[in-house]
Amino acid sequence: MNALLKRVWIGLAATLVVSLAAVVAPDHVQINDEGRVHLGAPAPTPTPAPSTAAPAPESTSPPLTRDAVDEVIRTAVGAAGIDPAQGSPTVAAGADSKRTGWTAVRENSTAQSETNAICADLERQGWTLNPNPKGDRPDARSYKRGGWYLVVSTRSNSQAPSTAPAPADAQTHLTLTGIQLNLSDIPLPEITVRIG
């Protein structure tokens, strides 16, 4: 009986790890036809035979520094017609080189158009939309570039950070949250999950 319980707990733990990895970095989780799950950088594709045309290499961005991401945020916020000084950083300068962010209280009537303008500018700056496998929430979009993930979101009073000023009923928090996350540098084991 103990062996059965142990196998059940191991299976649940493996499923939890795979689920969390699929949410954080969906492009680093592969499941093959046999049900084997591989966590980590995508497996290298085999070199095509000389008789076939080689596919164009996917463009990669060099790693970004926190200062560069802070500048990206300021530029995108400015492109939406917002003075970055109207908001405040969510992580103190020099406190953490792998996290950054900016937040401001905005009117509900303009927050969606400002969010769209910020997202359009991020794409202009070379950031790639990182779609959520369950579908993007209408109030949050995720982008990636140079080892960083950047989430643009609007938050109600109940979801706002405790340090942020409380918005009025007709207002919301417009927030950009950046985190440096490079799973390809972390050696992750291959896990087999079999159901049934």
The whole-number pLDDT of residue 57 equals 41
Q: In terms of residue numbers, what domain contains 97?
A: 66-180
pLDDT at position 122 over 50:
yes
Please name the residues in contact with 83: beta carbons below 8 A apart, sequence gap of 6 or more. none
CATH label of the domain that carries residue 156: 3.30.310
With respect to residue 57, please indicate whether it lies within any of the assigned structural domains: no
**Phi, psi dihedrals of residue 151, rounded to the nearest 5°:** -105, 125
> Residues 38-96: pLDDT tens digits?
666 555 555 555 444 444 343 466 889 999 999 999 999 999 999 999 999 999 888 88
Query: What is the C-alpha to C-alpha distance for residues 170 and 114, in angstroms, rounded to an integer?
Result: 15
Determine which helix (DSSP H) or strand (DSSP E) holds 79, and give its type and residue range.
helix 66-79
Determine which helix (DSSP H) or strand (DSSP E) holds 108, and give its type and residue range.
helix 108-124
Q: What is the mean pLDDT of the chain?
A: 75
With respect to residue 78, please indicate whether it lies within any of the assigned structural domains: yes
The whole-number pLDDT of residue 58 equals 39
Query: What is the C-alpha to C-alpha distance for residues 143 and 150, in angstroms, rounded to an integer?
Result: 5
pLDDT at position 164 over 60:
no
Number of domains composing the chain: 1
